[in-house]
Structure 1
Amino acid sequence: MVKPTERRVGYGVAIGYGLTDLFGGGAFAVIGTWLLFFYTTYCGLSVFEAGSIFAIARVIDAILSPIMGYITDNFGNTRLGRKFGRRRFFLLISSPLMLLYGALWVTDMGYWYYLGTYLTIELLSAMVLVPWETLSSEMTNRFSERTRLSGVRLMFSALGSFLAVSVPGLIMQYTGKDNAITYTLTGVIFSVIYCISVFITWLTTWEAKDIQPEQDIAQHPARKGGFTAHFKYLFLDLASSFRIKAFRQHLLIYLFSFTAIDAFVAVFTYFVIYGLKQDASLASLLLSNMMFMSIPGTFIFMMLLGRFNMTPSNALRIAYLGIMAVFIFLFAIYQWQWQVPTLAFSAVFLFLGIMRAGLIYIPWNIYSFIPDIDEMVTCKRREGIFAGVMVLTRKSSVAVAIFMIGVVLQESGFVKGNGSQPESAVQAIVGLMVFVTAGLLAVSFWLTFRFKLTQRSHKLLVKEVARRKLGGTPAQCDEATRAVIKELTGYAYDEVWGTARTKTSSDTAISRELKSKL
């Protein structure tokens, strides 16, 4: 029988794995693009009520995603985990539940219905995305195969985002531009797609649950204790993830970048309708062009990082500058009321799609190697905790952007359901879309100069991890590798490989505390 890490990850497997990002990239793209508009136009909610739904969901998710990460890291110690896998079990039970996504898009149901359905989708997404995010590290430890998994999944994410903005536009041609059934049909169609996609991922993936070395089991035995003990373990694991220097930097870049692009997408429909005096079909067309180019755009940035050996930081700066140039172009159209041909407008958004692909692909590609850096410090594989933090951050970027927009529009005098808006509301829309988003990208641009993870530094780190696993001594590590490890982890070399566990994990302290209570 072939062991999990000896299996090869070809493009067929990568496609099966990546299909779930139709949900990961598409579901919240639909939400970010259309749900606020749907709530305020067809469901009778005020902008503030709609925004509060996203804010409440973030509070719940702030607890839910990290808990899910902790559960998947430790689920292998349970009977179900040993039989079905600590990660893939959750994909199997979540697949049919994906049909609940359609319940979001029902009209005239009241505030509590919309709050309840949105919270249900948040729970479901945590059950799927957190364990799924860990599978690329579970399935292979080969750099090229992990890169393939990351690239293919993000192409599906881009496809999901493209479908999120294009499908409603296609349906509008048959249902009309101002018909709530457009969004209801969209929700039903996507719920079926997501159900099938998650099931295929479960069918085509695997995990390394059966090859944990005996010495690792001895060094990191199953965690025991009641609810209080596991809550402490969760808190300590979560807190220790932020002690990894590269992860802190990566998370800040990710947070500011994705919040910027989410805010742009969420407010763009309002900008087209009330700022440019066009209809929603133009917004759908332009956003469709942007999402479509994200697919080849991902491949372009894959080549920049791979074949042309560009550093992630340099590639990100190219993406940021390109996006900000488009923001300036859009502001000029509004300010001077230029009449731009649809073809030229579309070309600009095709370019924006390429730049957006870089903004999305690079952080997610980097993320898959963060657990390797953590392993250098803790001697443990904790993909679940990092996945929990990343999923929380991703969904938070959508909700924070939408809630921020809701509050600003409410205060600016926005009137729900109106065909026109007061000038103060239009100016607020333009300010959010151009200046706020550009400011967030400027912060990310500055942070890239401090981020040092590259292909070379990762290669040195992985080589050192392998050497230490084979029994190598600290004295045999060369100075270049020591410098890289300190730059990436934030710890001096003498503080890593388990010696920093008192700083990054307090399992021993908790064990002593539990024994003292017995």
Structure 2
Amino acid sequence: MEKKKRIYTPKEVTIGRSLAYGLTDVMGGAAFTIVGAFLLYFFTTFAGLTAVEGAAIIGIARIVDAITSLVMGSLTDNFYKTKLGKRFGRRHFWLLIGSPLMLEYVLMWVTGMNFWYYLIVYLLFEIIAASVLIPWETLPTEMTTDYKARTKMSTCRMFISATGTFLATFVPGQIINMMGQHNAYAYFVNALVFALIFAVCIMAANLATWEREITPEMEAEFAKAPKLGLWGGLKKQVKDYFSTLKIKSFRKHLLIYLFSFTGKDVYNTIFVYFGVSCLDISATNSANILSLSFVGILVTVIAGFLMVKKGPRFLFLSGYSIMFLMLGAFYMIYRIKPDNIMMWLIIVGLIYQVGRATLEFTPWNVFPFIPDLDEIVTKQHREGIYAAVMTFVRKSTVAIATFVVGLVLQSGGYKEGQTVQSVGTQDTIVSILIIGTGGLILIAFCVALTFKLNRDTHDILVDEMNRLKEGGSKADVTPEAKEVVEELTGFKYEQVWNEDNAK
């Protein structure tokens, strides 16, 4: 009997394997935290670009990357049809090649180049990152159907992500402090250190995880599928992506995810400007305030427990409430400017990071359960498409938000290369921090009030789906199961469990 390949051999989902799985989010969390906190500042201070040029680079690259993410979702779902997919796994192939390609990250942190150079190298990194993250994000759904096991994996992932976020804010500040506040080479050294860490982490995750084996049914489905050609294939992909929006809970989840994460990104993008130009503290001290994200390491452990006991809605509302209060506290610090300003910034920044860590933890702990809602509606496994849609819409909105931040900075009179700015410019920076971040999180808060997916409702839905898989009749559904399925999916019960719903 032929021995199964490692990537198709299921094992127990232990804490160790869950942590190893989560290592990829050192890249997912740290790389873009560094980009959000320092890249626009690097562009405008050391690379000679204007705020609009720097924001345009980030915005354009994110839009192109968002399109790439859509392609990757369908590509990784169907990659089992290729020789490489069969040999290395439709998900794991991308982790295997993505690991060494992480070294490209350093190329965007050099000085003396023009707008087109920075655009191209940043665009390339975004594409490489998407080719790793999209297939990797599907692995909890691939590896197990158990709610607790998936929650364990997602909790470990966010624990690792919180560690990566802390390192991404703490380490740069120390390197900049050691090499000099005005030394552009410090940013290159920082990027090199992290690129090597990213490469090792992705390879470790590749070796510790597995995926669903290619079944004869999948092969048979491929054989009978019509050959659509390039244009027909693209049209089908677009239909597939739009079909995900039919799922009621996914629409809500998407809105919560987009607005909360974009609000967090606005905060990260503008905070160094806020510290340097509004509070007259150094870039290192600003980075140190951001590095208080280390508290997220502990928060993820507590949030993992609360995810099971209280559900995601409780976590959403708690995290957002904390962030609202601390944004107000930052505004008071700006207006009052107390003598012991660093002490107050540390206190407020630490509490803010509790809310921020909860914000980051919850959506990606909810995500592994979304494909189950799709499966009971369509009878299909489409994890990659859902991961791609989440990535696409987020990166599109982040691109717009980043560009708008740069545009508002420029229109507010920001002077490139100067740490001292006018009072009007300072007020502009504060408005972006408080109103921009707070407004986006407020929208997420309102949507989260209506979110009904949790452990209990998910268990009821999965039990009903398993009953249908075993040949059970829809006529025998219990009133409770019918109500839950309709509430979570947005479909009438009589319409679910139908492949035509994926069209």
TM-score bracket for the superposition, by shorter chain length: over 0.9
Contact residue 59 and residue 398 of structure 2 kept, 8 A: no
Alpha-carbon distance, 1:261 to partner: 0.8
Distance 2:190 2:425 in 1: 29
The question of whether the paired residues in 2 share the 8 Å contact of 1:95 and 1:199 is answered with: yes
Residues 313-352 of structure 1: pairs in structure 2 closer than 5 A: 313-352=313-352
Q: Are 2:502 and 1:504 aligned?
A: yes
User: Which residue pairs with 2:237 in the alignment?
Assistant: 234
Give the alignment partner of residue 257 of structure 2, picking from 246, 249, 254: 254
Paired with 1:459 and 1:265, the residues of 2 have a C-alpha distance of: 37
Q: What is the CA-CA distance between 1:386 and the residue it aligns to?
A: 0.7
Q: What is aligned with 2:456?
A: 456
Of stretches 453-462 and 217-226 in structure 1, the one that deviates more from structure 2 is 217-226
- In structure 2, what residue type is equivalent to 1:364? W
Alignment map for 1:323-472 (pairs within 5 Å): 323-472=323-472
| Residue 34 (structure 2) pairs with residue 40 (structure 1) | no
Structure 1 position 30, deviation (Å): 0.6
Q: State the TM-score, normalized to the length of structure 2.
A: 0.96
Check the 8 A contact 2:174/2:284 in 1, yes or no: no
The two structures, once aligned, show a CA RMSD in angstroms of: 1.8
Of the three residues 150, 156, 161, the one matched with 1:152 is 156
Q: Indicate the larger mover: 471-480 or 394-403.
A: 394-403
Pick one of 274, 280, 285 that aligns with 2:283.
280
Could you list the per-position Cα deviations for residues 442-496 of structure 1 after superposition, in whole angstroms to 9, with x for gaps in the alignment? 1111111221111111011111111111111101111111111111111000111
Asked if the contact 1:64/1:126 (under 8 Å) is kept, the reply is yes
5+ residue gaps, structure 1, are 506-518
The CA distance in 1 between the partners of 2:32 and 2:226, in whole Å, is 34
- The separation in 2 between residues aligned to 1:194 and 1:230, in whole angstroms, is 34
CA contact (8 A) 2:333 2:341 kept: no
Aligned to 1:293: 295
Give SS of 1:323's match. Answer: helix
1: CA distance between counterparts of 2:483 and 2:224? 32
Structure 2: distance between partners of 1:259 and 1:409: 17
CA 1:217–1:470 in 2, change beyond 3 Å: closer, same or farther?
Answer: farther
Q: 1:390: how far off?
A: 1.8
Q: Contact conserved, 2:152 with 2:304, CA < 8 A, in 1?
A: no
Structure 1 residue 52: Cα displacement? 0.9
Instruction: Tell me the distance in 2 between the aligned counterparts of 1:221 and 1:484.
Output: 35
How far apart are residue 273 of structure 1 and its match? 0.9
Amino acid at match of 1:167: V
Shift of residue 93, structure 1, vs aligned partner = 1.2
Deviation of 1:342 after TM superposition, in Å, equals: 3.1
Supply the distance in 1 between the matched residues of 2:18 and 2:311 (Cα, whole angstroms).
24
TM-score after normalising by structure 1 = 0.93
* Number of residue pairs aligned between Structure 1 and Structure 2: 499
What is the deviation of 1:234?
A: 0.6
Which deviates more, 250-259 or 171-180? 171-180
Q: Provide the residue aligned with 1:509 in structure 2.
A: none
Distance 2:318 2:400 in 1: 25
**Among the aligned pairs, what percent are the same residue?**
40
Mapping for residues 153-168 of structure 1, pairs under 5 Å: 153-168=157-172
1:215 deviates by 8.4
Measure how far apart 1:216 and its partner are. 9.1
Instruction: Name the counterpart of 1:96.
Output: 100
2:189 is matched with which residue: 185, 190, 210? 185
> CA deviation digits over 1:178-221, x for unaligned, max 9?
110111111111111111111111111111123x3638955995
Q: Is the CA contact 2:257–2:363 (under 8 Å) kept in the aligned structure 1?
A: yes
> Counterparts of 1:418 and 1:447 in 2: how far apart (Å)?
40
Deviation at 1:58, TM superposition (A): 2.8
Query: Which amino acid in the other structure matches residue 320 of structure 1?
Result: Y
Contact 1:76 1:209 in 2 (8 A): no
1:31 aligns with 2:35: yes
Structure 1 residues 337-346 or 178-187, which shifts more? 337-346
Distance in 1, matches of 2:427 and 2:338, equals 17
Q: Distance in 1 between matches of 2:224 and 2:180?
A: 60
Does the 8 Å CA contact 1:371/1:386 hold for their aligned counterparts? Answer: yes
Residue 231 of structure 1 deviates from its aligned partner by: 0.7
